[in-house]
């Protein structure tokens, strides 16, 4: 049988297509007729708490069934049993709460997931477990029990399990949470390399990670997509609306005192302030309307 994940040309064809995706929890509409496609590359999902990012990622990772709409991922339809299996075989998923067994070692944890991912050849499987341990810099903790790992190490273990079997689709829910600066940098390098020839979707609250890593960024709000473009395009939303000044701005605008003692304001510039270069974070804050009364 032909494997769609292998035969689809990576750059030109959307690898993941979402049409009219809708999800409710009780009365709350969490995904509101979402339409989006993803090709190869790294896409970042930004949005305030409760915007629907995890819900969208869970639908793509086949752990949650939408109420309406269609998904095609790597040529498979997760609404069908065989389609779900097809996606799961090619998916690397880092959920927000991976729920590891505390008494397993790091190695045993990955070996267990690799067995679930149908790696039946023991020698090949162990080689793959060592490979992903090394990718996330945990080789020296292979024999440490999960309960004895630090929070950041557990997060790296969670990432390692998502990397098993070189998935064609990587879905990472807040992958940089708890990582120290060195590990965050390492994750950026790893994820950007993976994104060269596969689809990587990651949700985050770290706008610097989006600016550094993602070629595309989606901003979600109340189950809809508010923005779809490049990080530079998102920063450009704030062009002319970020300023630096010596005087403390009045109430009602978002500002903070910078290291050099000046005031950086997002929104209407106070008198005497000069324009500053906007960042992805500025654009995001303006877009989701979080620039008033916060200071
Ligand atoms: N299992 C559930 N049952 C009921 N409501 C839920 C459930 N899971 C999520 N929700 C609600 O759905 C909405 C979207 O949640 P979701 O986790 O997708 O947001 P998010 O954008 O990932 O937020 P965060 O940045 O906090 O992780 C929230 O209002 C949340 O309370």
- What domains can be seen in the chain, in order of their start residue? 15-90+167-228 (3.40.50.300), 98-166 (no CATH), 235-287 (no CATH)
Two tokens at 213? 């890593």
Q: Answer positive or negative: Cα dihedral of 86, 157, 223, 227.
A: negative
Contact at 8 Å (CB) between 107 and 129?
A: yes
CA distance 88 to 96: 17
Two tokens at 31? 């995904």
Residue identifier of the C-alpha nearest atom 27 of ligand 1: 49
Atom number, ligand 1, closest to the C-alpha of residue 96: 27
pLDDT reading at 247 higher than 60? yes
Question: What's the pLDDT band for 252 if we cut at 50, 70, 90?
Answer: confident
Task: Report ipTM for this prediction.
Answer: 0.97
pLDDT reading at 2 higher than 70? no
pLDDT reading at 229 higher than 90? yes
φ and ψ at 27, to 5 degrees? -85, -20
- Report residues whose beta carbon is within 6 angstroms of any ligand 1 atom: 25, 28, 30, 47, 49-55
CA of 288 to the centre of ligand 1 (A): 17
CA distance 285 to 281: 6
The pLDDT value given to residue 289: 81
The pLDDT value given to residue 13: 52
The pLDDT value given to residue 248: 86
CA of 133 to the centre of ligand 1 (A): 31
CA of 55 to the centre of ligand 1 (A): 6
Pick the range with the lowest mean pLDDT from 126-135, 165-174, 203-212, 245-254. 245-254
Q: pLDDT per residue over 91-127, tens digit each?
A: 999 998 888 999 999 999 999 999 999 999 999 999 9
The pLDDT value given to residue 94: 95
pLDDT reading at 243 higher than 60? yes
The pLDDT value given to residue 109: 97
Atom number, ligand 1, closest to the C-alpha of residue 51: 21
Apex 97 CA angle, 93 and 100, nearest 5: 90
CA of 49 to the centre of ligand 1 (A): 8
Contact at 8 Å (CB) between 152 and 180?
A: yes
Q: Which of 262, 240, 267, 237 is nearest to 252 (CA)?
A: 267
More confident: 262 or 293: 262
Instruction: Calculate mean pLDDT across residues 77-84.
Output: 94
pLDDT reading at 294 higher than 60? no
The pLDDT value given to residue 254: 85
CA of 2 to the centre of ligand 1 (A): 37
Q: Which of 53, 63, 54, 67 is nearest to 84 (CA)?
A: 63
């Amino acid at each position: 049988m032909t494997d769609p994940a292998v035969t689809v040309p990576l750059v030109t064809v959307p690898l993941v297509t979402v049409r009219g995706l809708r999800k409710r929890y009780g009365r709350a509409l969490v995904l509101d007729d979402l339409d989006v496609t993803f090709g190869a590359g790294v896409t970042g999902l930004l949005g305030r708490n409760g915007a629907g990012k995890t819900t969208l990622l869970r639908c793509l990772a086949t752990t949650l069934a939408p109420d309406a709409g269609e998904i095609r991922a790597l040529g498979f339809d997760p609404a069908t049993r065989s389609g779900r299996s097809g996606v799961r075989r090619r998916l690397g998923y880092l959920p927000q709460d991976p729920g590891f067994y505390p008494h397993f070692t790091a190695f045993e944890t990955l070996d267990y997931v690799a067995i679930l991912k149908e790696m039946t050849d023991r020698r090949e499987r162990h080689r793959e477990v060592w490979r992903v341990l090394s990718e996330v810099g945990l080789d020296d903790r292979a024999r440490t029990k999960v309960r004895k790992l630090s929070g950041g190490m557990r997060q790296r273990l969670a990432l390692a399990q998502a990397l098993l079997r070189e998935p064609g689709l990587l879905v990472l829910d807040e992958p940089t949470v708890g990582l120290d600066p060195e590990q965050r940098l390492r994750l950026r390098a790893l994820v950007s390399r993976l994104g060269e020839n596969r689809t990587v979707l990651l949700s985050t609250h770290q706008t610097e990670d989006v600016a550094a890593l993602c070629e595309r960024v989606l901003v979600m709000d109340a189950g809809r997509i508010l923005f779809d473009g490049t990080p530079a395009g998102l920063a450009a939303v704030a062009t002319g609306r970020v300023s630096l000044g010596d005087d403390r701005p009045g109430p009602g605008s978002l500002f903070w005192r910078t290291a050099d003692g000046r005031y950086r304001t997002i929104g209407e510039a106070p008198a005497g302030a000069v324009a500053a270069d906007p960042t992805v974070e500025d654009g995001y804050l303006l877009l989701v309307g979080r620039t008033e009364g916060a200071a």
